[in-house]
Each structure stands twice: as C-alpha cells, then as structure tokens.
Chains A and B, each alone.
Chain A
C-alpha cells in the first residue's frame, strides 16, 4: 500500500487505510470498543513537568504519545520497581513529538521525563490494570516461550557466575595467563542474554563498558578494564584484584535479578535483533575485545542467544510468517556454520586479529543477511 510522498490526498488515504487495519485487528479480538476507548497515553514533557493524559490503563500494547513542549532535549522512561527500564526513548528534541510503543504487563510503574537528559527525572506513578486486552488474547505458546526464555536466561547466569569466580580467582592469585585463558569463557552466558542484563539498566555499565564509552567522571570497572590490564599491561595489581571481586558481586546481582526481568515475546524478538546489532556494530569491527581479540567468542554467544530466542518464538512465528521463518532457519544455519570454521577443538575461537579483511566482510554479510529478516520477527509474534 504505497503512499505518494507529495500528495496530501494520499496521506489521507494512508491514514484511512491505517485506521482500517487497526480496526480489523481489533474486530478480530472482539474488543473494538475497549481498545478504542484506550487510545494513546499523551505525555506532555516540559522543563518542569511530566504530564500524563491518564495514569491508569489496561495492560498490553501501550502507546505513549510524547510531546516535548519544553526548551531542553528530554528523555522518557517507563520504570518498574527498582528502576528497571521497561521502555525508554532518548533524545526527544524541544518541540518534537515521538511515539513509544511498549507491551506493559499489569502492575505499578513510574513514567519519568528527564529534561536535559540528566538525573532521576520528573516522575509520575501509573497503574496498569490486568484486563481485557493483553491477558485475554495472550497466546499460550507465547506465554510458554517467555517462561522458557526466562529459564534459559537464568541457566546462563547460573552457569556464568562460577566461571567468573574462577576468572576472578586467577586475577586474585596474580596468574595473568590463567586469567587470560578464562576471560572469553567468563563472558559467554552474559553475551548470550545481554538484552536481559541490559534491561536492568544499572548492571551493564558496571560490568561491560568499553573505555571509549565511559561518561565523564564514570569509574571504569568490569571485564574490559581487567582485559586491558591483562593484555596490554600484562600485570595484575591490587586495583585489578578489587575490580575482579566487584565483577563477581555485580554478576551475582544479575543472577539474582533474572526472575524479575521484564520479558515479553516482542521483547525477546527485538532482543535477538539487538544481539545481531551488537555484533554488527562492535564485534565485526573488533572493537569489543580490542585487547584480547576474543571477539569471535562474544560474536558466537550473541548468535546463540539470538537463536535461542528465535527457536522459542518459532511455533508462533512460523505460523504467522512461514517464509520469514524459513529464511531465519537458513540464515541462522549459515552463520553458525561460518562461525564453526573458526572454532577449535577446545571450543575457543580464532583470535580476531588473525581474521583477514575479506573474512570480516564475509562475517558482515552473514550478519546483515540474518539481521535484516530478524528485524521482522517481532511483528510476526505480535498477537493478531
């Protein structure tokens, strides 16, 4: 249904068609009136206020129509308990409007507007009621997929912590070589389920920040800080030992919090896509593990985690979009096969500084070939 770019009439047609589309999907659910009454939540952000058109609405798809009427660039967050990010949008310029779409489950939340993009923001409590839309139309298979994915995320965290403890023990013992040999392995479970860890907001910056991503005044902690000491400096001091202990503590916090993570089917699908985005942006270029060159290990873990999310969503996705599902099967297979060529008998991967430009291009092609169809997975699991 292409719309003519320059014709006002065509925009009208598009709008009508769009309405018809929404109308259809709602009629199918038999809840046209309930949803129709819902509509988007208007968020009016100014330099001193964060106004909401309503503070109570039913669970399911929630549309936040944000208008920044202030003079500063703002951000809007939806937090659940403990400031876990449910959804967020940054860089909303003065005078601009954006729409944030999220799937929100029943519960109490806080909406925060952050004029100037700093601080805790101006907060408003909201209540999302269990009701009509989401729960009623939830597909049992998707509910199962979410439960299974949470189980997977928990398993990964449970398996990771002991390896990180070994890694930390090697650091504490001042054993550079042993610490180096455990570095890549200590990251696998984290990399497989990174979107879950990132959803907590506060853990990722402490554990997985690269030097160039530091904000002014932010202390550099976590894996990559220790990586630099091991590979560049080749020595371990008291500071590194403290950092290793901190890394263990932070990851235990992650392990403990997986049960509270907000996981939705579309969140899983978009999380899978984000893992590929991570690969595309940081691993292909060799920026992620720039000192240790263990990028391919992270790369493989990202792909494995994305594939796990996809496999769990596949019963629904393959029914809604069979062709997309076939493409994803084929592309996951191809990229897995390609990565396999770089995996040694001991499970470690070729050092990325030994991977030629041509080989990197082949990886890039494989990532693009998978990432593009993967970006369509979320739509394929949206309840119809």
Chain B
C-alpha cells in the first residue's frame, strides 16, 4: 500500500469515479503514512511535545498530534479539526482542594490523550478485579490532532452571591454575564457552566473518548451540565484551505483570524498583560452559542433571498459585486441588513473574533423537524469589546435572524497554556 503502487493502480481505473476514489484513497494513505511515522518516532515525539512553544498553528493538516504544552492553550489558534465534543460542567463539591486535585488529574490525562496515549494505567488495567483507568474506545486510533481546551465560567467565581472557592477577587471584569440579546430563547439546560472543555479532533470517537474520560475522572467533583457534538467545522483558521460551509450551504468564516497571523492573534485573541486579571495573560475568552437554524424554511427560500441574507454568492462565496471569495468586499454593494455586511470588521471599527464553530444535528425538535444548526464558538481578547457589541448589532438587524434562534449560551475564561509537565490547568488562577 505504498504511494507508488497506488499511482500505478489509479490510471488503470479511469473515469470520474475512479478519480474521486483515488482522491479519498490518497487521503487514507496520507493518514497511514503519518501513523507509521508516529510509531517510529514514538519516544521522540513525546519529548518534542514537552519542548514545544505550543504554537500549533504551524502544524500541517495531517499532523496526528498537536502539542499540549505551550504558552497558549491549543485548540484556539490550532488549525480547526473536523469534529467537536464540547462539554460544560458544574462543580458539585465546595471543597477547593478536591477541585484543584481534579484539575491536576485532568491535566495529566489531557497531556496523555492529546498525545495519543491512554489515560492513567491504560485500558488493560492494572489488576483484572478493577475497572481499567482508560475506557478503551480510542485504542488503535491515532491522536487525530486532538486538542483539549479548558475554560472557567463566572459561576465558578461567584454563584448566588457565594464566593465558592475563594476566587471572587480573581473574577476577570471581561468575564461578564452576557446581556440578553434580542431574540434570545436560551434554555437553562444548554447554557452556562462552571467549567468547560472543548475537545476537537479529526475523529469523533477520539473527541468523545477525551470528554468521557475527563467526566469520569471528575466524578464526585463535577457533573456534566450539557454537552454538544459537532461536525463539519464551519470556520477555518487556515486561509489556504477551502472555506467550509455551514448547514445553510454558505461558506462561513472566510475572513477569520488565521492561526498563523501572530499580529492579529495578539491584537484580537490573546489576553495581554495589563488587560485585566493577570492570571488570564496568554488566555482568551470563549463565547459558545448554540444557534438553532430553521433549515426547513431556509430551504424554501429563493436563492436570491439566501444570497441577500448573507451578502455573498452561494457557490463561490464571492462578496456582492465581486468575482472571487477572497476579493475585498464592497460592503455598500450588499443589502444593509445582510449578515456579512453587518458582521464585517470594516462595519465594526476593525473588530475581529476568532471563530471555530461546528454544525450540529441533534435528533428532532419534537415537531417533525431536525434540530439542526451551528454551534458557534468564538475566542477573543475581551468579550465586552468583541462578541457583545457585535451580537447586539446582529441580534437587532441581521436578516439571518429570520432563520436562526440562539438557544444556548455560555461564556468562559480560558486560561493560558500549560507550559510544561508539572504545571496544570488553572494553576495561574488557583496557584
């Protein structure tokens, strides 16, 4: 199954179908090759991971392993993986030590899983009488570019007027309670949370395995408040690759912050010294919104209405009046209430957020329709200056509101990265 044999086989098949098959087969071979390389370099990779500065952005798309340690948490500027499992947790203990102990155990487990290794004593277990430490469903799977990103919600610092863990004084001003935006129909069971973990990977099983094992480690300390699976990344942080489409069939996130654009990241994404709470320096604020799309009515709307809604053409994604997706848009050529015009940095004083959303469909809404939409994830340096003004404007004016409803919402402070083994998630906050 080496590349040479593959190339010999391909022309013999001929025709369009063979060409498509050839493409996907090459993709498979690419993965296999990476896997072999990983196996051969097993020891070296671990060592390298501990030395990395954590700038996952430079990693090629096929890299099976994203470094866990670094100045910033991975999973933010990292090239967006194909799949998501996001979980928000409630802390159910009032014992600060127990929480810290869990965060340390989580960190250790996260470093293992993101490196394609098993949790604790592994899936085989230490003694047959005991359940194995690792739940086992990721055995044989590569690291799949898994990243795990942790965040802390407002309620961790203060809940019902209580300073739960002696953290109240460390509540960052930027971690505001999000205002109620026009049209919000938020469900409590899909909103909020004391902690969150974003697991992104190219293989959904690897992402689910990660969240499941963290939830298990956290028993007695946290429970799962809500969780969301996502597929089909809707935003890319790698401008060279094709911009993915959302469930409305439109390219989404054409003008996103690139993971390699250090200047924009520094300006719009990473919290800088002096921004506020010191413990957040190098971190970022995450807004998660579960946005339900009424895809049934969307699908019944004319192509012109659909394109007017976005202000871009559907197939190419070109801004109105232009030919190509990446042509500089002439905002005045777009309808005044079009999504792109309203959301564009040029309409917002240069304001940018880093988007990393995923599509979802979760069964039905009980009315014979798919419960589908966009799980919107955005990272920013200060939510008060980014998501809040942007969403205030969109909620009031965006023509897209005809087809979408925000049904879940959460806001988290994602601390800086774990720089080396021995450090732990939240150390700058609790330490």
Contact = CB atoms under 8 A, between A and B. Distances in A.
A365 interface: yes
Nearest to A21: B126
A266 B129 contact: yes
A9 B39 contact: yes
A331 interface: yes
A14 B129 contact: no
A9 B43 CA distance: 10
Interface string B87-106: 00000100000000000000
Contact of B122 (A14, A266, A269, A369): A14
Contacts of A6: 35, 38-39, 64, 116, 140-143
B220 A327 contact: yes
B127 interface: yes
Interface string B247-287: 00000000000000000000000000000000000000000
Interface stretch (A230-238, A286-294, A376-384): A376-384
B301 interface: no
Interface in B211-256: 216, 219-220, 223
A322 interface: no
A9 B39 CA distance: 8
Contacts of A107: none
A37 interface: no
B398 interface: no
A7 interface: yes
Contact of A372 (B121, B143, B219): B219
Contacts of B219: 368-369, 371-373
Contacts of B127: 379, 382
A368 B119 CA distance: 19
A379 B42 contact: no
Nearest to B108: A2
Interface string B24-43: 00000000000100110010
Nearest to A273: B131
A5 B141 contact: yes
Nearest to B46: A4
Contacts of B223: 361, 364-365, 368
B141 A369 contact: no
B64 to A, nearest CB: 8
Contacts of A101: 128-129
A270 B131 CA distance: 10
Interface of B: 35, 38-39, 42, 64, 92, 112, 115-122, 124, 126-131, 138-143, 216, 219-220, 223
The 9 A-B residue pairs whose C-beta atoms are closest, nearest first, are: A379-B130, A369-B220, A101-B128, A372-B219, A378-B129, A2-B117, A7-B42, A7-B39, A368-B219
